Structure 1
Amino acid sequence: MVRGCTLIPAHTADLLLIHVVCVKTWDVEDLTTIYLVRHGETEGNASNLAQGFSDVPLNDKGRAQAKLVGERLKNWHLNAIYSSDSQRAIQTAEPLLKLRPDFEIETTPDLREKNYGVCENYSWQQLRDEYPELFAKMLDVKTGSDTKFPEVESDREQSDRVAKFTDAVVEKHDDDETILFFGHGGSIRSAAAYLCKFRLEYKWRLQTDNASISAISSAPTWRD
């Protein structure tokens, strides 16, 4: 059983921000650790657009961030690596795979960003202007998790998708293994909130900057 959650402040290494989330449990020898890496910056991130399923590449800053992620992780012990099949997530993983050709990666649509449907590549201000009532409901703690724009995946739908995948991964691996996910702001927050037993409506309070690395550790009770 999870006893508590401690947030350790981030520190900056050039373009790389690291956020460590530790879930305290009984026996450190039996801890499973999942590292969560958000993709590097894209032009859409720089312009504050809702990118969703749009398969956009990293920009120059994002590629530099990806190299820093690879340098940071190259000497870490990792038992398995999973990535969203979106281009920007795979490009963030590539520098690490070049430095560590012994690592293998499995891509999956389950770690994709939230599907914003017809709203993809709109700015948040455009969405606020076009759908003012929906936007207000989305920001409301009581209604936000199930509110969605037309043809768009809700927070709950995305979180259920990520949770199902995370459960399958945890079940597949031994209790003391270390697992790495490359994903997106929404999918990283969904995985972290699920593993830490946070209420869904609070997942957006978790900070996941581009190229940030989060670590979540817990005992085998994830399987209960």
Structure 2
Amino acid sequence: MTMIDAPAGDIDRLRRPLRLGHVLVTLEDLLIVTWRVPEAELRRHLPNALQPVIDAGACLVSAAVFRNRALRPAVAGFPRMRSSQMNVRAYVRAPRSGEPGSVFFLGLYVSRAWIAGMSSWLFGVPFQYLPLEVAARDEGHGVEWHARSPDDHLTIHAREADADVDTHTLDLLTNPHTAYFLDRRGVLRRWSIWHRPQAVRTMAVQQARVECMRDFTVSRPLPALYVRSVDYEVYLPPRAAS
């Protein structure tokens, strides 16, 4: 088993005091499956304002799949919501500084139709309804992880396995602090993210079918990264990218 403490980077000093627009959530059984993608293919899907991070001559695109537990606004009294979610994201550089540490969402999917509709209506975030299920178990021989949707848009199976992951790649894949997306009107927007420290396990991907990745030429995924549980804060509403 490879257990890694993901680097915190500068994210601690970027955290802000909680306010009405902040959303709190605990991510459970998070799996990050990553592929190398030809630069020319990814650029066709990126806004002109964003430049991809190049790693070993290619771009990186991940499917981050997880269960949301206790999703709620950071205001006392709101009910806590549960769902499963998949974020398909490309790793990009900040428009002004050119520094890595940001992602652009190529696709956002959630297992509850009303959450997808509410997010789109309130914040313009283009979530799509996808009835995915996530399951993970650890019976003492390592974690076994599955995700699927009934329509076969998503099928992923991974098992815990030792793997070497360099610090740069680990930081890039687990520590984004800004997320960009195109809203319903095609305007580039962003929100900020903060998370608690996380312990990461490496996984071997046995099967990976993600329908929205069919636009890209990909080979075998990199070793996947698994996090049992991590607390996140998302700073809403999204702002216009600058």
Same fold (TM over 0.5): no
Q: TM-score, normalised by structure 2?
A: 0.31
Higher strand share: 2
**Quick one: higher RCO (CA 8 Å, sep 6+), 1 or 2?**
1
